[in-house]
Copies of this chain bind each other. A is one copy, B any other.
């Protein structure tokens, strides 16, 4: 088949697979948002049928033949072209999917399905010994998968690549190490500061209906279009996308705390703006119609959540609005006190409740643990001790029980080794992108103070969103900021922001 025809057929197949994936995403959204409990068993059958069909279509040798017919042709000679990017990424996924033996995939799916329940019980009972044999199995499976994928350097490279294509452990570890050292130092200064923000300001009754209204108002101001989306409630908030024109966000409301839904909504709207900014009308269903990586995705949500949503300029505009809406709780509160309250830093055991500073330390710790587990340097039985030692070192806290320590996250029971680092990569990318946006948009602060976030959204769309997966994360970062990923922009941002709040 001629390269052009092969490419067209490849794209047709890929779009069909993605359309089935979108169907699955609708079922998953419904599962999380609407489904009555009775529907769970049947829903599992529906999604596993679709997953099986998608997998079958994707590992069809026809896909491999089509790829071979295009690769090395003139059509992909320009490696920055859309065609080249699509072929590169389809090949990447095809090779990974087809390299895994069917028996291994089945064992992995079966083991992680069982392990999830075992983990939940072990965590509830704070009994690591119960979870340990499952961790042994899953680490073994993850190692076998890494071997099947193949890798340079260490096996963790093969796993992290599933979430952050092209990222290497060596590079990530280097940046993380610098971040960790500076963050521990920053945290020490914050802990010794005499400034103690009054968090009770945001921990008092906030009417849920009003929280929803306020969240929607902010999402709209960010440029989130409710004609092409919805905001619903979910226990574990997420953003999902069913193709062009339908990108939905979720949040959860705490009637006695403002932060959860407020910053949760901004975070998810950040993810959604990325999806909405990709040119899906043209590229839906192909890699160029998808996000560059989980790290880049997280950079969008975290930039909006923290660098915009927890900034002074943002609240210069929205604090008076919030005071009007939540009169009973915010009447008479000073701007600086509110700003400090939403930016309180306090080391704590649970990652998902962590503040902006300590969140990254949680990730660094997990990254180091995972990497060592994959290398066999930390044995499953030694996980609690290793965890607790690192935790003491980075946070200054003694872990009292494993349920709030090494068993707190679902990821390991689900076999998601290599996923955690994307959370911190997101923060680091976010700071580097945001520093560039501030250079390119000199009046950005003034705009935010006027409640105008659309110039930033346009900057992100132009520089990041619209490219989809055309460039891998590393290259995208160099294109946008003129430099490789560095810990500096984030640490500059953190030191400046928290130095001002905590006065050091």
Contacts and interface: CB of A to CB of B under 8 A. Distances in A.
A3 interface: no
A27 interface: yes
Interface string A3-42: 0000000000000100110110011011000111111111
B23 A246 contact: no
A38 B230 contact: no
Contacts of A227: 36-38
B22 A246 contact: no
Interface string A210-245: 000000000000000111111000000000001111
Nearest to A47: B23
B230 A41 contact: no
A46 interface: yes
Given A46-B23, A284-B42, A36 B244 contact: no
A209 interface: no
A69 interface: no
Contacts of A228: 36-39
20 contacts: A16-B49, A22-B46, A23-B23, A23-B50, A29-B30, A30-B30, A36-B226, A36-B229, A36-B248, A37-B227, A37-B245, A38-B225, A38-B229, A39-B228, A39-B242, A39-B243, A39-B246, A41-B244, A41-B245, A46-B243
A45 B26 CA distance: 13
Contacts of A35: 246
Interface of A: 16, 19-20, 22-23, 26-27, 29-30, 34-43, 45-46, 49-50, 53, 225-230, 242-246, 248, 284
A5 B398 CA distance: 62
Contacts of A16: 49
A50 B230 CA distance: 24
A38 B35 CA distance: 23
A151 B47 CA distance: 40
Given A34-B230, A37-B227, A41-B244, A46 B19 contact: yes
B45 A246 contact: no
A220 to B, nearest CB: 13
Contacts of A39: 228, 242-243, 245-246
Contacts of A26: 26-27, 30, 46
Q: Which of A30, A40, A230, A248 has the most CB of B within 10 A?
A: A30
Query: Which one of A16, A36, A37 has the greatest number of beta carbons of chain B within 10 Å?
Result: A36
A46 B19 CA distance: 6
Contact of A19 (B45, B226, B244, B245): B45
A218 to B, nearest CB: 18
Contacts of A49: 16, 19-20, 23
